[in-house]
Chain A
Amino acid sequence: MDLLSVAFVSAFIAGFLAASMPLLVASLGETIGEQSGVLNLGIEGVMLFGGYAAFVVTLATGSFAWGMAAGAGVGIVTSLFLLVLSVLLGLNQIVIGLAVTLLGGGMTSVLYFGNYSKSTPRLGKDEPFSLWGLSDLPVVGDSLFSQPAIFWIVLALAIGVWWMLSKTNFGLQLRAAGQNPNSLDASGGNVVATRAIAVLLGGFFSGLGGAYLALISTGTFTPFMTQGVGYTAIVVTMLARGRISWVIGASLVFGLSVAVGTVIQLTNINLPTDVIKMFPFVVVIVVLVAFARSAYVPPALGLPYSRGAR
């Protein structure tokens, strides 16, 4: 296959964005949670719940917008587990996170098996929303700038999260809840409320990430379809250390590694698919080893806050 043909470049960009965008959305949610001191290890389960809800709603209504809304909404609802059990009651975040992951995987595959395993319906493509002018560019124009509306909304949300974390009073409180909850408490802030809002926002983004994966990236739902995207989001978050530009960059690098893997399959290079599937995780490990010293997390991450405890 000709490596520079328009069809090839389009396929490459499509694969690249399909892998990066859900990860970006999920990582935004995880970043908000981790900055406030809550490690959401259940992100994989929340994404599956969100993806399944989005799939069902879009299948029923035919509307991608409603599907996205349903995914985000269900993400918020499932993050209530983490909110009530880990933030309000202070139970172990890792245990609760694993429970949510198991619950998400189990429930969605049971439901999918019960309702759709015989018909295995697929969704169509969402109407693209082209950037006027840019999408007429040769070669890359159509594949890069002619995207569903949610694509542009996600980019706007990423800027919104950056603005919230670094420019608003609430963002300052949120980071204080993760860095030093005692000082937030002493200054009159409410640690539990701040973390609760962060968890809900995290649920919104994780659910939306799952919905993006199901509706836009793959066009269907399959049990356990996240295949580690949620865990990768946690890694992206830890490497980015709360800097949204890094979140975007790391997500794009991950997407690129997935897309390169797909491209290799199209060329004559004979590499087993297992190697290609493994590639992104190897990249993550290499990055983790290379930046071992700087993979830094908020000091209060994973610790429940109880006033006066030392």
Chain B
Amino acid sequence: MSKVETKAGENAMTETTTKNRSPLLRRLGVGFIRNILPLVLAIFTSGVLLLAMGKSPAFFYGEVLRFGLMGTGWQRSLVMLAPLLLYGAGLIVAFRGKLWNLGYEGQYLLGGVLVVGFAPFVMGSLPLLLGFIALILVGTLAGGAWTLLPAFLKARFGTNEIITTLMLSFVGIGITNILIRGPFQNVDVTVPQTQVMPLDTMFPKIFGTRIHIGILIAIVVVLIVHYVLTRTSFGLRLDVYGASPKSALHVGIDTPRMVMILFFMSGALIGFAAAVDMLGLWGNMRANWNPAYGSEILPFVFLARLSVLASIPFLAFYAVLATGGALASQDIGLDSHFILVVVALILMFMSVIEFIGMKRDLGQSYLPPTLRKALAKLLPQRKAGNP
């Protein structure tokens, strides 16, 4: 036991010396290990899984890059990135306050269906710019409104928000489908779907590419959110609340109001994302359609340490992986849900690496006490075999 401790002490000492030698290099190294290594490990492990299923990982990842970046792939990826940036910001706002808004799918779909549903009416009666603004407002308010009940229950009774948001998400998906098969249905076609927006009432494209102005809107909004979260007193209060709701109450923060605001902001940004996605890319919605971005971008907002600014490169990486992966998996005869596996592996590796990093910073052992004791018992035997 004592041997283990002295060894840990030595390690800590060598660490401090290296820290003094090259802080910048060390920081870069730590940044790489904590943020990039999970991606590398997950991609490697999924490669092994591909091999086990008799597919060539090199070919698969080559195809991912080809479809995600080469040719017009980068444009497709950027188009996908536009709503993801807003979506990610919505998740980050809630997660920074340690509020688990897991009802993102319902919020996104409700926002989206109201946008495409009202689009023919709104775009027909308003000038283009006003129409866009009105429809974005519709999506944003719808997404935000769908968080009000969970937020109220959490703020008033402390009801677990994971459950309420998840259940309301299912209800939201149901209402979306009812709207598509009911008032918003395009009766001219047999497949239940909303009317397709004419291209000239959708977001204009940038310089003859497929990229619509949604990406610019998204970047501007995301930068504003980043400013609010990091440079304003509201952001500070949010971080205090996230660190400890009890201490937030003690320093005079109105915590129930904080819960309501954070939930509404989170849902509103997700609804905004839906509006941008509808007005920029899809233009209509089919029944039972659900892109389910939310759970797939979760690991990337965590890898970005819940920083909106840092989420941009990570979400861009996901956009390439997802646009390329969908086509690549078709190419090699794999279900497109393979990307889910990659994402799940990223989440797991990320958590483990985060854990190791935290222990390292604290100068503690990497192993939980029970495991350490068990290993300490084994250690003398090991030393005998390994002098």
Contact = CB atoms under 8 A, between A and B. Distances in A.
A92 B299 CA distance: 13
A285 B168 contact: yes
B141 to A, nearest CB: 21
Nearest to A107: B341
A295 B339 contact: no
B164 A282 contact: no
Nearest to A284: B167
Interface string A87-106: 01111101110111111011
A263 B233 CA distance: 55
Given A94-B162, A106-B338, A99 B171 contact: no
A102 B344 contact: yes
Interface in B371-387: 371
Contact of A292 (B156, B339, B340): B156
Contact of B334 (A89, A91, A113, A293): A113
A302 to B, nearest CB: 9
A223 interface: yes
A238 interface: yes
A274 B351 contact: no
Contact of B341 (A103, A117, A288): A103
Contacts of A81: 348
A103 B335 contact: no
Interface string A266-310: 000000101101100110110011001101010000000001000
Interface residues of A, number: 51
| Best-buried of A193, A274, A292 by chain B (most CB within 10 Å) | A274
A271 B299 CA distance: 39
Contacts of B121: none
Interface string B141-155: 000000001000100
Contacts of A288: 153, 159, 163-164, 167
A238 B369 CA distance: 31
A238 B160 contact: yes
A159 interface: no
A270 to B, nearest CB: 12
B289 interface: no
A247 interface: no
Contacts of B370: 88, 190, 192-193
Interface string A198-236: 000000000000000000000000010000100100110
A98 B170 contact: no
Given A99-B347, A272-B178, A281 B337 contact: no
Given A105-B337, A106-B338, A272-B182, A89 B167 contact: no
A98 to B, nearest CB: 6
A10 B174 CA distance: 28
A107 B352 CA distance: 21
Interface in A98-144: 98-103, 105-107, 109-110, 112-114, 117
B170 A103 contact: no
B112 to A, nearest CB: 16
A190 B153 CA distance: 35
Given A106-B337, A231-B166, A238-B163, A278 B171 contact: yes
Given A102-B343, A307-B369, 9 more contacts: A41-B162, A89-B352, A95-B347, A96-B347, A98-B295, A102-B295, A102-B296, A106-B344, A193-B370
Interface of A: 41, 81, 85, 88-92, 94-96, 98-103, 105-107, 109-110, 112-114, 117, 190, 192-193, 223, 228, 231, 234-235, 238, 272, 274-275, 277-278, 281-282, 284-285, 288-289, 292-293, 295, 297, 307
17 contacts: A85-B348, A88-B371, A89-B355, A90-B368, A91-B352, A95-B302, A106-B337, A113-B334, A114-B335, A192-B370, A231-B166, A235-B167, A274-B178, A281-B174, A288-B153, A289-B153, A295-B159
Cβ-closest 3 pairs across A and B: A106-B340, A278-B174, A113-B335
